[in-house]
Chains A and B, each alone.
Chain A
């Protein structure tokens, strides 16, 4: 299994508070991703990174920011949490190899509840 950890694994917070989720990898993979999983929506990309300090938006980026100051860490921040951001958040990593299928490897997830 790819070395990916997420912290915290569970968090309950109140509306309006800032929240930061951490993804840590030991694989030295170039690409890192943040997804959210909600019933009826599958997995939706929030933000991704293609290198240290290189990030880009995904399909549901509003209300989220990210930072990547080291290869191994990718942080997801909810500036002011809302109830609509209650979800399960997954981090993923991948290494782009020409001619390969570039599969992504997922962390165990963080369950976030915003009250």
Chain B
């Protein structure tokens, strides 16, 4: 069974608007959650993370929200820029291992 789920495989958004990516997980024992960004033919790059004891973490244009009771997290990108066009992976971690979702393709339209 997949422990981390990302629905809505693709998202198109106008430049300057907000992009919202959602992620659900099943294991309440996860200690931390991360978002990665991936361009074609490159490895994933770390974007932002949040500990299970927090409900929000912000870094520049990127904010991650965690709702532990719902086992749900989201990534907000505002304002969206053309360089944000990529695949975004949600990951959940514990015991130095990560479980990844299938990814969301984001296209930012100039």
Q: Which of B43, B45, B49, B100 has the most CB of A within 10 A?
A: B43
Interface flag for A70 (CB, 8 Å): no
Q: How far is the CB of A2 from chain B (nearest CB, A)?
A: 9
Tally of contacts, chain A with chain B, CB under 8 A: 53
Q: How far is the CA of A96 from the CA of B93 in the complex (A)?
A: 12
Q: How far is the CB of A21 from chain B (nearest CB, A)?
A: 14
Q: How far is the CA of A109 from the CA of B42 in the complex (A)?
A: 7
Say which size band chain A's interface belongs to. Answer: 20 to 34
Q: How far is the CA of A48 from the CA of B51 in the complex (A)?
A: 23
Q: How far is the CB of A31 from chain B (nearest CB, A)?
A: 6
Contact pick for B46, options A40, A50, A104, A109, CB 8 Å: A104
Q: How far is the CA of A110 from the CA of B84 in the complex (A)?
A: 24
Contact pick for B32, options A101, A106, A109, CB 8 Å: A101
Interface string of B92-109 (1 = CB under 8 A from A): 010011111111000000
Check A90–B44 contact: CB distance below 8 A: yes
Interface flag for A113 (CB, 8 Å): no
Q: Interface of chain A, helix or strand or loop or mixed? A: strand
Known: A31-B96, A101-B34, A108-B42. Contact between A42 and B49, CB under 8 A? no
Check A102–B96 contact: CB distance below 8 A: yes
Which residue in chain A gives the minimum CB-CB distance to B87? A42
Q: How far is the CA of A109 from the CA of B40 in the complex (A)?
A: 11
Contact pick for B43, options A45, A48, A103, A106, CB 8 Å: A106
Enumerate chain B interface residues (CB-CB to A < 8 A). 6, 32, 34, 36, 41-46, 49-51, 89, 91, 93, 96-103
List 22 interface pairs A-B (beta carbons < 8 Å), by A numbering: A4-B43, A42-B6, A42-B89, A43-B89, A43-B91, A44-B100, A45-B98, A45-B99, A50-B96, A90-B43, A92-B43, A94-B96, A101-B34, A102-B32, A102-B93, A104-B46, A106-B36, A106-B43, A106-B44, A108-B42, A108-B43, A109-B41
List 11 other contacts, CB 8 Å, given A42-B6, A103-B46. A31-B96, A42-B102, A43-B89, A43-B91, A44-B100, A45-B98, A48-B96, A94-B96, A101-B34, A106-B44, A109-B41
